[in-house]
A and B are shown apart, each in its own frame.
Chain A
Amino acid sequence: MSIPILQAKEISVVFGGLRAVSDFNLTLMEGELVGLIGPNGAGKTTVFNLLTGVTPLSSGEIAIRSSKDGKAHSTKGMKAHQIARLGLGRTFQNIRLFKSLTVLDNLRISMDHLRRTTIADAILRTRRFTAEEEAFTSRSVELLKIFELDDKKDLLARNLPYGEQRKLEIARALATDPKLLLLDEPAAGMNPQETKDLMRLIAFVRERFQLTILLIEHDMSLVMNLCERIAVLDYGQEIAMGTPAEISRNPAVIKAYLGEEEI
């Protein structure tokens, strides 16, 4: 439990003169569930984009322990898809499913990096190809069962209700076979009951796939209950880090959320 799976050292990014994230540090130990909170516009999603390589770093360094060889790799110079292949899955705050594809295809697309057959196999429909397709399909259906989406596997993603689209995003991230999962406001827009179910689901997949999870969430009670550690971001800087109990007492956090009282 005590090996770091992700280490971000003093990462920063500048957008046209604005330091959106400034010298942010984060270490995730294997198996942890860490929350990343902060007021609107604090730079939480930007941190996700930096960690996943969607946005290039201006400075700093990120190392991720690969799920394949168990070694820590610096993500310097890596493209987003290469970082993802180290075993890093993610969801998006504004759902980004492959909307006009089926639920099943949304998952199977995440497995292509595991493909061993060639394009020639696909065109000639070889036996190897069919076997692999079936393997991908059955693995996808298994995952969908966990999220109770298996009976909707042939629906187009855009036709799912909102809550199920959020769940499908998580399932799709899991289909890449990650060890580290970044969830960007997975419960956004859900009602309290749905949120509760989702949290149970997250806890379940965490156990089942032995995941390390970093989670952005607005619902404070949820973060406080679920996470073992919490990092608080404000104006692109980390203002606090600690257990939920520590965070809820931290004056800097209270100030960031409630604003300074004027006397």
Chain B
Amino acid sequence: MKKKGVDFLLLLGSGLLVYCLIASLAWVGVIDEYYMQLLSVAGVYIIVALSLNLITGFTGQLALGHAGFMSIGAYTAAIFVMRASLPLLPSVLLGGLVSAVFGFAIGFPTLRLRGDYLAITTLGFGEIIRVVLNNLEGLTGGSAGLQGIPSFSDTGNYTLDAIIKFSWIFAFFVATVATISNLIRSSPGRVIVSVREDEIASTSMGNDVTRYKMIAFTVSAFFAGIGGGLFSALIGYLNPSDFNFLYSVNFVVIAVLGGLGSLTGTVLGGLVFTFAQEWLRVLGDFRLVVFGLLLILLMIFWQSGIMGNKELSITGLVRRIFRKGGRAQ
């Protein structure tokens, strides 16, 4: 019991430390607004990729339409903020909820299917959402997009704005990590992982496998929607064509790059992915060619990603250092 309390404080402390470090570096100008924005974008990508990892890495069900859930969250949040003048926080949460409802509705009939069918259905769903968003011109602005979505902060001080935006994203990032990791390390979470391991064995142990897939999928859709809501306020502009199939693939790439079934891996993967994409811009038209080639090479030569399915444990690290110190005395 006591050990757990210490672990919790340790995690909280290291989270705060990272946050304060980045915020103060931004304040004194070491990290400029451009990189703050990039970090914020990375945060959104990580949130969506974490949600994807829950269903693909932990539950073992490949999903190829997370851009669809993200766009539902993004448009819902933006529309509530703009048309109903709701504050940002409830709007973002509503985005997550609406996305979760869609996740439930799609998962209910499809999650009993085996193999690649979920992948195909989610892909189709993502495309349908895009077409629908394009055609609901009254609500979404159609293919012209939705402009002028209020930002998290508009003080006029760019540095301060950048820090406030980052703070929002960071807070949601921490909440996402905490929720998903607590879910995974619990009895229902273990059943979710057992579905990946061996569905028939899990059923035979009395577990309602479809129900747990539903839970994982709905939670996953929820956080993808949250990511979308944050994205809308961060970027300020939405266009259905941005949420295409390749956009969904980005999240799969992040999750696989970091290591399927590893939350810390996804965090690292999201950072590497976002920054690599940005730095590859110097290549101009060749950027996507190089990106594609890198992707192929990574998949062939680095199959388990950065972390495999292991976690980078801050508490474990601290304890190891502590123990070493203790032994030396």
Could you tell me which residues of chain B, from 230 to 270, have a CB within 8 Å of some CB in chain A? none
Asked if A109 meets B204 with Cβ closer than 8 Å, knowing A81-B209, A98-B197, A122-B183, the reply is: no
Complex Cα spacing A98 to B207, Å: 13
Segment from A110-118, A201-209, A224-232 that makes contact with B = A110-118
Q: Which of A82, A105, A112, A176 contacts B188 (CB 8 A)?
A: A112
A109 and B205 contacting across the interface, CB-CB below 8 Å: yes
B205 and A115 contacting across the interface, CB-CB below 8 Å: no
Contact with A along B197-209 (1 / 0, CB 8 A): 1101111111111
B187 and A79 contacting across the interface, CB-CB below 8 Å: no
Could you tell me which residues of chain B, from 150 to 204, have a CB within 8 Å of some CB in chain A? 178-179, 182-183, 186-191, 193-194, 197-198, 200-204
- CB of B134 within 8 Å of the partner chain: no
Which secondary structure characterizes the binding site on chain A?
helix
B202 and A100 contacting across the interface, CB-CB below 8 Å: no
The bracket for how many chain A residues form the interface is 35 or more
Min CB–CB distance A51 → chain B (angstroms): 11
Count the A-B residue pairs with Cβ separation under 8 angstroms: how many? 102
Q: Which of B190, B197, B203 contacts A79 (CB 8 A)?
A: B203
Asked if A115 meets B187 with Cβ closer than 8 Å, knowing A98-B194, A98-B197, A98-B198, the reply is: yes
- CB of B147 within 8 Å of the partner chain: no
Could you tell me which residues of chain A, from 74 to 106, have a CB within 8 Å of some CB in chain B? 79-82, 84-85, 89-90, 92, 96-101, 105
Residues in A with CB closer than 8 Å to B191 are 109, 112
A133 and B204 contacting across the interface, CB-CB below 8 Å: no
Min CB–CB distance A88 → chain B (angstroms): 9
A81 and B200 contacting across the interface, CB-CB below 8 Å: no
Residues in A with CB closer than 8 Å to B55 are none
Complex Cα spacing A98 to B179, Å: 24
Nearest B residue to A108 via CB reads B190
Complex Cα spacing A82 to B205, Å: 10
Contact with B along A197-230 (1 / 0, CB 8 A): 0000000000000000000000000000000000
Q: Which residues of B contact A (CB under 8 A)?
A: 1, 4, 178-179, 182-183, 186-191, 193-194, 197-198, 200-209, 215, 309
**Given A98-B197, A111-B187, A122-B189: 19 more A-B contacts, CB < 8 Å:** A79-B203, A79-B208, A81-B207, A84-B204, A84-B206, A89-B205, A96-B198, A96-B201, A97-B198, A99-B197, A108-B187, A108-B190, A109-B191, A112-B187, A117-B187, A122-B182, A122-B183, A122-B186, A132-B187
